[in-house]
Chain A
Amino acid sequence: MDFAGAYSPDNLRFLADGLKLTLYVAAVSIVLSFVFGTIVGTLRYMRVPVLSPVLAVIVETLRNLPLLLIIFFIQFALPEIGFKFTVTAGVITALTLFEAAMISEIVRAGLQSIPKGQTEAARSSGLGTYQTLRYIVLPQGLRRMVPPLVSQFISLLKDTSLAVIVALAELMHNAQIVMAQNHNYPIPILLLIALVYFAINYTLSLLSRRLEARTT
């Protein structure tokens, strides 16, 4: 093991470049998958004819496949039938699809956890379907969704590391390049990037706990 050599300024700068791309890809995918996941989850909750069953099939398929396969498939198989992506866009698309499927399930479960009595009361007091959803179900449901949503976001950040297989220059990819410099580098480098992922994700989970404590 060679900590001093592995943590040379050049190597650290190179890893920081990777981290920047990791955070960028994660942030964009979190926002997109949250938006799409909420829409899909709400549509499935509302049991829209035709649309909801179709979404159910898509969600179940995506949820039950390895993300690694989805990333590779989007990058290299979809172009065979005419859909092209740059590497960054392909990874963001794959992460968004997969995580949106997971998030839609969280949203649907959150909405379904609101007792039927409340929606019936709202409806009978003259609120429309949309208003009931907007003012009664969503606000309460969202609060219950915060902890599972944050842990899904943490998963997403961890999952960006799978983009190594399409050679996206994120943290994991750059770490592998640094590790190849010397056979004493793998443990120091793996330890360092593990601590980086941990610091970010643990902070997120602490924030989520505080948010949860404040709202209940």
Chain B
Amino acid sequence: MPILEVTNVTKEFGGLIANKDITLSVEKGSITAVIGPNGAGKTTFFNLVTGVYQPTSGEILVEGKSVVGLKPDEVAKRGISRTFQNIRLFGEMTVLENVLVGMHKHLKTGLLGIILNLPSTRNEELEAEKEAYRLLEYFDLAPLLNEKAKNLSYGAQRKLEIARALATKPKLILLDEPAAGMNPKETKELTDIIKQMGEEFDVSILLIEHDMKLVMEISEQIYVLDHGEKIAEGTPNEIRTNPKVIEAYLGSGAVQLGQRSEASANTTTE
């Protein structure tokens, strides 16, 4: 059974159709990518899956159960976590605290436990801190644990957002342009992390990305959106040669060019 199954989802904002009839599924343990030109409706789609928006019509199933109508925090409790295109860290909190917030829903202690500082609360807190620290180590952020999140470099902030999302112990993690604004070295590093993250944390990955090198290297399945509609799906190789995709990215003239030399399509980064 796929971890995420989206059928015929449509989202309208007044007269604007941001997502139209989108059907998509993410297999357990896979890395799936959603690509498309700017304004194609990718982030809207993520917002629909995570409950920030409600679909106008259609069905979204997480492990076979519908999440339509749930609030974002309830969707998070179903095992979906995400990062944001425009980084949304808790700037005034420390790096470790940011990750600890991600663990919020797994901490069981109640009000009384907090006031009385019961041994169970203390243990739980220490365990959470250790686990958060391990996550930071995984992302090479451990030395920065007491630093305010807003003081981190851009690349480090992106990584911290992924660490925080993983702290919720999700079954599916949605990464919204994880490599945006990173330099090639950082992107390479991130590519490795994402590749291994799936197995390490037993999580399926759905990502939006403009860096085609990254997308082609790590995804098993790719969906292409344009003007709110799904125009193609398939493996990286199928997508690479799909005339519709090339047209969406480079215009119709590029299609003929692409048919002549397939290699040129490989470099369609924008």
A-B complex is real: no
Which residue numbers of B lie inside 8 Å of A, CB to CB?
none
Which residue numbers of A lie inside 8 Å of B, CB to CB?
none
